[in-house]
Chain A
Amino acid sequence: MLHQAEPSSGRVPLSPEGRLEGRGVGDDLIRVLIIDDDEDDFVLVRDLLMEEGAPPYAVEWVSTSQGAIDAIRARKHDVYLLDFRLGELNGLQVLDAVADTMDPKTPIIMLTGYGDRDVEMAALRAGAADYLPKPQMTAELLGRSIRHAIERGRLEYLEFRDQERLRLKDELLSRVSHELRTPVAAIHQFVSLVLDGIAGEVTEEQVRYLGVAMENIESLSRLINGLLDASRAAAGMLVAERHEVNLGSAVAEAKASMDALAGQKAISLLVDPTTVIDIYADPQGIQQVLVNLLDNAIKFTPAGGQIRVTAAIDGDQPRFARVCVADTGPGIAPEDQEVIFEALAQLPGQERSGRKGLGLGLHICRDIVVAHEGEIWVESEPGKGAAFWFTVPLYSLTDMLRGVAEKAMRLRSDIVLYSVHLLPRRADLLTYNRLVRRVRRLMERATLPDDVVVAGAQREGGPTSLHAVAAVGALDAPSVADRIHRLLAAQADTRACEDGYEVVASAEGATVGAEWIDETVQRLCDRIAVAPVRPQ
């Protein structure tokens, strides 16, 4: 079994897909490359792997840093065990040298002869999946670390591939809409030059004709804008960051942005006062739904009409909120009530009902609402206005925490709770959202990616603290908490001031026994709800 495998100088053109796709814990053979300049240490690590035994490992060894760099770049192995002490370069420098190939992530575990916090953090920041001090290393620990690194690498790869696909699509559509807007802008300018009499006197008839051209140019440019929105909604980009959103504030914000448009047609835009309802939604996504529905209602409501927005807990499904945007427009024929949510292909059907121009707006609404696990529909009788309804899940911390607790119990895993406190006066919503993303990402790196609950404690005047809860998988809670804290603090060092938040160490772990689920959920809820706010 012992053979030294120095990779040849020719690199193996193995794609990331060839390496990672379909590769996960449970596959037959795990190809391990041990990178160590000391043969005794190599033998020690190899023997631990042999002892661990299942799944079987195919072990290779390189002893030089250049050999390591070449091998990692070639990506022929499932996991790399990288010793900190190498000949000419140390392990961190090796990580640095391969950093450009680390996306999607290559599972590299850093081994060292001694425990050093600074090296540990530097290694994790440089992209190592884990860090193990050799003196404390057991066969079990090593095996677990390897499985964890591979599984996380696989999930990250899948995520990376999805993101990449979305990014390309987004970029393509950005370019297409840019290319379309330029000629539309030129047509717009020249038609309006004639229309405004700048090119000489225009007859009444000419004004009428050019007016029609102008309306169509404007609707074309709205369609171009919608194209990009539609692709983002379909790609799930408008449900990417779901957290606690106050429905009343969201409605008020949408109303504020549409008031001017409604005012132009002397339409009164009314919002019924609602009790406090918190929904579990992407704030940008939900804003888009509300704005599109209002835009649609304004478009079809005659001058002097009325649009009314109401929101309440859904009587039929108590875990959902139900929002209604009702207008006094011409209404929608029954046969068209289904198709109006379809994309452009359905336009001819809508023209029959006299609601031309319904293009992507409602389609985008449906994509977003469905991605939020809600429903959207319209109730209308021709001539009596239309009422658009949609449902969106209520924010229930208890339900989400229960999910984590149950998972932790199944995996016999610890739960980690990580809290960040915000400086009250400086924590605007933008800062908060950025912090939510950052904490979520760090949690996802340290635990299993699909298993993170991020909750904000809201006080008057905005969010004051942020809590992330997750089952930690193979690792133990204290070390995960510690790791997240150090990573966040390292990032926060340079950004704390401008971002207006402060990292307060209050990570804690818990192990969940079957009989303790309710109690655990309750305790986590309490911790999150009563998290102390530090005076500034």
Chain B
Amino acid sequence: MSGTKILIIDDDPDLTLGLTIRLKANGYSVASAADAVMALTRVRQEQPDLIILDLGLPGGDGFTVLERLRANLSMASIPVIVLTARGQQLAESALQRGAVAFFQKPADNDELLSAISQQLAPRDAEGPG
């Protein structure tokens, strides 16, 4: 699992730090981006196995990031989990645009971690591909 990389896209530094520590403690390696403009560059650089995406970002809506990811061939297959302080009513549109899960802040850590491992499990089983 130690080779598994997660990219956090969130503009709140405290939250990003806390989540980074949490994910590292669970054996993941972690990278982060703080705005929508940097997000795609970071995805390209880091080639993460999974992305945790906030919806309210400076420099562009999280939905835009989601759509750009989906439109890009090399990034389209990376699972995206939305983690946002915005309302639950956005869950449907996030899922429609290709997110695999939706969590409202503050999220239950166990639920978040289990959603992450669920997304990564089939990949591990299939091997690189």
Given contacts A178-B85, A185-B85, A186-B12, contact A193 B21 (CB under 8 A): yes
**Contact of B15 with A182 in the complex, beta carbons under 8 Å:** yes
Cα–Cα distance between A349 and B6 once the two chains are bound (Å): 48
On chain B, the residues within 8 Å of A178 by CB distance are: 56, 85-87
How many contacts A-B (CB < 8 Å)? Answer: 56
**Which one, B85, B87, B106, contacts A189 given CB within 8 A?**
B106
**Contact of B105 with A184 in the complex, beta carbons under 8 Å:** yes
Using an 8 Å CB-CB cutoff, how does the interface string of A173-185 with B read, 1 for contact, 0 for none?
0100111011111
Bin the interface of chain B by size.
Answer: 10 to 19
Tally A residues with Cβ within 8 Å of B.
23
Interface core residue of B22, B56, B85, B106 (most chain A CB under 10 Å): B106
On chain B, the residues within 8 Å of A183 by CB distance are: 14
**Which one, B14, B25, B56, B88, contacts A186 given CB within 8 A?**
B14
Cα–Cα distance between A184 and B107 once the two chains are bound (Å): 10
Considering the complex, give the chain B residue whose CB is closest to the CB of A188: B106
**Contact of B15 with A186 in the complex, beta carbons under 8 Å:** yes
Cα–Cα distance between A186 and B22 once the two chains are bound (Å): 12
Shortest CB distance A207–B (Å): 16
Cα–Cα distance between A217 and B107 once the two chains are bound (Å): 12
A93 close to B (CB within 8 Å): no
B31 close to A (CB within 8 Å): no
Considering the complex, give the chain B residue whose CB is closest to the CB of A178: B85
Cα–Cα distance between A185 and B86 once the two chains are bound (Å): 12
Using an 8 Å CB-CB cutoff, how does the interface string of B57-95 with A read, 1 for contact, 0 for none?
000000000000000000000000000011110000000
**Contact of B21 with A198 in the complex, beta carbons under 8 Å:** yes
Shortest CB distance B55–A (Å): 10
**Contact of B105 with A181 in the complex, beta carbons under 8 Å:** yes
Cα–Cα distance between A185 and B109 once the two chains are bound (Å): 11
B122 close to A (CB within 8 Å): no
On chain B, the residues within 8 Å of A174 by CB distance are: 86-87
Shortest CB distance B103–A (Å): 10
Cα–Cα distance between A199 and B24 once the two chains are bound (Å): 12
**Which one, A177, A198, A221, A225, contacts B22 given CB within 8 A?**
A198
**Which one, B25, B85, B109, contacts A181 given CB within 8 A?**
B85
**Contact of B87 with A228 in the complex, beta carbons under 8 Å:** yes
Cα–Cα distance between A164 and B106 once the two chains are bound (Å): 31
**Contact of A182 with B105 in the complex, beta carbons under 8 Å:** yes
B128 close to A (CB within 8 Å): no
Considering the complex, give the chain A residue whose CB is closest to the CB of B25: A198
Shortest CB distance A184–B (Å): 6
Cα–Cα distance between A196 and B110 once the two chains are bound (Å): 11
Shortest CB distance A322–B (Å): 31
A192 close to B (CB within 8 Å): yes
On chain A, the residues within 8 Å of B15 by CB distance are: 182, 185-186, 189
**Contact of B22 with A189 in the complex, beta carbons under 8 Å:** yes
**Contact of B85 with A186 in the complex, beta carbons under 8 Å:** no
Cα–Cα distance between A189 and B17 once the two chains are bound (Å): 9
On chain A, the residues within 8 Å of B105 by CB distance are: 181-182, 184-185, 188
A516 close to B (CB within 8 Å): no
Considering the complex, give the chain B residue whose CB is closest to the CB of A170: B87
Cα–Cα distance between A184 and B56 once the two chains are bound (Å): 16
Shortest CB distance A522–B (Å): 42
Among residues 91 to 127 in chain A, which have CB atoms less than 8 Å away from a CB atom of chain B?
A: none
On chain A, the residues within 8 Å of B109 by CB distance are: 189, 192, 196
Among residues 298 to 317 in chain A, which have CB atoms less than 8 Å away from a CB atom of chain B?
A: none
B18 close to A (CB within 8 Å): yes
Using an 8 Å CB-CB cutoff, how does the interface string of A210-235 with B read, 1 for contact, 0 for none?
00000001000100010010000000
**Contact of B25 with A182 in the complex, beta carbons under 8 Å:** no
**Contact of A193 with B22 in the complex, beta carbons under 8 Å:** yes
In order of increasing CB-CB distance, the 8 nearest A-B pairs are: A189-B18, A185-B105, A188-B106, A181-B85, A185-B106, A186-B14, A198-B25, A182-B85
Give chain B's interface residues, CB within 8 Å of chain A. Answer: 12, 14-15, 18-19, 21-22, 25, 56, 85-88, 104-107, 109
A185-B105, A189-B15, A198-B22 given; 13 more Cβ-contact pairs under 8 Å? A177-B87, A181-B106, A183-B14, A185-B106, A186-B12, A186-B18, A187-B106, A189-B19, A189-B109, A190-B18, A193-B25, A196-B109, A228-B87
Instruction: List 23 contacting pairs A-B, 8 Å CB cutoff, sorted by A.
Output: A177-B87, A178-B85, A181-B105, A182-B15, A183-B14, A185-B12, A185-B105, A185-B106, A186-B18, A187-B106, A188-B106, A189-B19, A189-B22, A189-B109, A190-B18, A192-B22, A193-B21, A193-B22, A198-B21, A198-B25, A199-B21, A217-B106, A228-B87
